[in-house]
Each structure stands twice: as structure tokens, then as C-alpha cells.
Amino acid sequence: MTAGSVALEGVTKRYGSETVVADVSVTIAPGEFFTLLGPSGSGKTTTLSMLAGFVVPDEGRVMLSGQDMTRVPPRGRGLGMVFQNYAIFPHLNVAENVAFPLTVKRAPKAEIARRVADAMAMVKLEGFEGRYARQLSGGQQQRVALARAIVAHPPVVLMDEPLGALDKNLRYHMQVEIKEISRRLGMTVIYVTHDQEEALTMSDRIAIMNRGRIAQMGPPREVYEKPDSSFVAAFLGEANLLKARRDGNAVAGPGGTRIDAGAGALGASDGLLFVRPEKVSIAAGGADGAPNTLPGQVRHASFLGNIVRYQVEVAEGATVLCDTANGAGAALHAPGDPVRLSWRAEDSRLLAA
Ligand code: ADP
Ligand code: MG
């Protein structure tokens, strides 16, 4: 395999009787931006630590650029890293911090100076060379850590929640920067986050982790729109998950309403009918007998600025969330109004309960 490829082959890690990473296999292409997403404790950091070499797996292999690195210490792996517990050194100034991966390799002085200047420009920290950690904001410190991770142009960079400490605006700005730098340098990035939006914006592919396993893996749009489980559906943003059961070629939803679900989605007999709130259309008036339509009553309308979110009570006390764009001339529905909800069969799936 070519430089920059990464593979985990049946990797397992146990602590005592607890299996924290269970038989994880994944192949990542050179230049890919790959994200491990999952709730706290799902095994993301442990997985990344096995790639880094801080943790040795109990089973399986770690391959980097086609070479077995399972037992090679971190230093020998040639990776760039931005880890939460791998902060910038307080006794070195910014330029010395950024230069660190090159100075330990005893790179020539002129090359160090040139590469440090490049990296400083990429993270927009020119003029901060002489400062120390205590003289920098949280965001500036994270940019120093990023510059240090990329200064040697490693083929693979590992990042564990690198933007965790930043406020929303700076976070968004840095997401764009990291994505841009990784593309420009052609680096493979393995990125860890528990933030769904961050994963969706930045990644070529996302692996959603649950209890040490990969629950689902795919491009952002695919895992968002075609979740295979209620866990993935609920973890990646808002999801309607309505009690339903298979009924011939259709699905019986709340109140026995027959609803078509996407072809191939009828995997389970008893299950949960999944549809995202923004895929649900709402119209004034109650039942009209049209296929794929659920009658209901508006319980609550929340004005969120760009969207209006309706909570609609349908049969059997079930509630469906429906998001409508607050566009020009958009109709408003008030609490108590009878309404009809509908969606396209291909936007829904029947998932195992
Ligand atoms: P995440 O990064 O997804 O929040 P971690 O990989 O840090 O999850 O942890 C996964 C599980 O492994 C957690 O239950 C955690 O408590 C446990 N764990 C992690 N490191 C150790 C360790 N060194 N010793 C014992 N348990 C650990
Ligand atoms: Mg973690």
C-alpha cells in the first residue's frame, strides 16, 4: 500500500474484564479525512492511541503505509499528533514548540526555519514566535499544537478532539482551517470528536462508535440519511423514531396508518420507523386519505430563526418533529391546528427497535 494509508485489522483492547475496543477493522486511503465519532466512553481515544502507539492492542494489527506497526513505539511511526493530553511545552516558546518534531530529528537549521515559518503562516500565527503558552489564548495554543503536528509534513495526522476547548465561532473557523491545510498537504487525517456537526462538515468518511465497536461507517450524507440502527439515527442529529411494524410491503405506523418505507429498508418486522424532521412536510387540514400521510395536531411550534420546528401529535400519543424552512411566504401552523404530515418513502426506513 502507498504512503499515508492506515489500516486497523481486527483490533481489540481490554482493560481487566472490560473490552473497550472490540474487533475494529477499517482501511483508510491516503489523503482521506476519516472521523471517529461517538459518545464519551465509546472507545475513540483508545482506538486513536493504538494508531499512535501509546496503547498496544491485545489482538489485531495496526498498519501504516502498508507496514505492520503494532509494536512500534510512537516515535518510530512518523505521525503528526494533536492530542488533548499532549499539550504544547510551557518552557518552549511558540517557534521552539512548532520546531520540536524537526529538532528531535536534527534537521538542518535552515530547513527548520523555513518549515516553521510555513507552518506558522498556515495556522495564521505570524508574529507570535517568541510567546510562551501562558501568553496565548486557548485557541492560539491549539493552533500552535496544530502547527507542531504538521510542520514535518507527516503523511498521517491523528487528532483527538483538537477543538474541544474552543467557543463556537473559533471552532467553526478552525474546522475550515484544518480541512484546508489537510487538503493542501494531502495528509491522511484520523480525527476524533463527539460533535456530530463537526464530523459531518469535516469528514470524507465517518465511523460511528458505540461501546467499542463501529456501529456504522460511510460518507457523512450516507450515515446521516441511511442509518442502519436507531443508535446511529439518534446520535447523528434529530430523528423521528416511531413504533411501527412490517405489514406486507408497507409499514404500519402510529394508529395503523400504512406508510411506504424506502425499498430495502424493511429489514425488521417490529421496529422503529425513521425519518428526519426536515424530510417531513406539513400541510393544513386533517386526514385526507392520501397515501403516506399521517394526520395529527400541532402541539408546539418553536421559532428557531431560520427554521420553524413543529411538534405534531399523531395517533397513540406519538409525536413527530417536523422542521420547515422559514422561507418567504412560509405558512405557519398554530398549536391546536389539525395538520397532515407526509414524507417520501425513500426518506424513511424501518429500523430494528
Ligand atoms: P472515548 O475517547 O470514546 O471517550 P476512551 O477510549 O477514552 O473513550 O475509553 C473507552 C473506555 O475505556 C472507557 O470506559 C474508559 O473508562 C476505558 N479506559 C480507557 N483507558 C483506560 C485505562 N487506561 N484503564 C482502564 N480503562 C480505560
Ligand atoms: Mg476520548
Q: How confident is the model at residue 57 (pLDDT cuts 50, 70, 90)?
A: very high
196 Cα–ligand 2 center, Å: 14
- The confidence score (pLDDT) of residue 170 equals 81
Q: What is the pLDDT of residue 262?
A: 61
CB count, 10 Å around CB of 305?
6
How many CB atoms sit inside 10 A of residue 272's CB?
A: 20
Q: How far is the CA of 162 from the centre of ligand 1 (A)?
A: 18
C-alpha cell at 127: 508574529
The best mutation among 20, 56, 208 to test binding of ligand 1, ranked by most ligand atoms within 8 Å of the C-beta, falls on 20
**341 contacts: CB under 8 Å, gap ≥ 6:** 280, 281, 282, 293, 294, 295, 296, 312, 314, 320, 322
Give the pLDDT score at 147.
Answer: 93
Q: Which CATH superfamily is domain 238-352 in?
A: Nucleic acid-binding proteins (2.40.50.140)
What is the pLDDT confidence band of residue 86, given thresholds at 50, 70 and 90?
low
What letter would DSSP give residue 317? G
Name every protein residue with a CB atom under 6 angstroms from any ligand 1 atom: 15, 20, 38, 40-46
Asked if 191 and 175 touch (Cβ cutoff 8 Å), the reply is no
Does CATH number 3.40.50.300 belong to domain 6-225?
Answer: yes
pLDDT at 263 exceeding the cut of 70: no
CB proximity list for 75: less than 8 A, separation 6 or greater: 53
**What is the CB neighbour count within 10 angstroms for residue 313?**
16
- Comparing 54-63, 114-123, 254-263, 334-343, which segment has the lowest mean pLDDT? 254-263
Give the number of C-alpha atoms closer than 13 A to the C-alpha of residue 43, restricted to the C-beta side: 25
User: What pLDDT is attached to residue 317?
Assistant: 81
Q: Whose alpha carbon is nearest atom 5 of ligand 1?
A: 43
The pLDDT > 90 percentage for the chain reads 67
Instruction: Report the predicted TM-score, pTM, of the whole model to 2 decimal places.
Output: 0.91
CB 243 within 8 A of CB 257: no
Torsions phi, psi of 226, nearest 5?
A: -125, 60
**For the chain, domain boundaries:** 6-225, 238-352
Least-confidence region, from 91-95, 160-164, 210-214, 295-299 = 160-164
Indicate the average pLDDT of the chain: 90
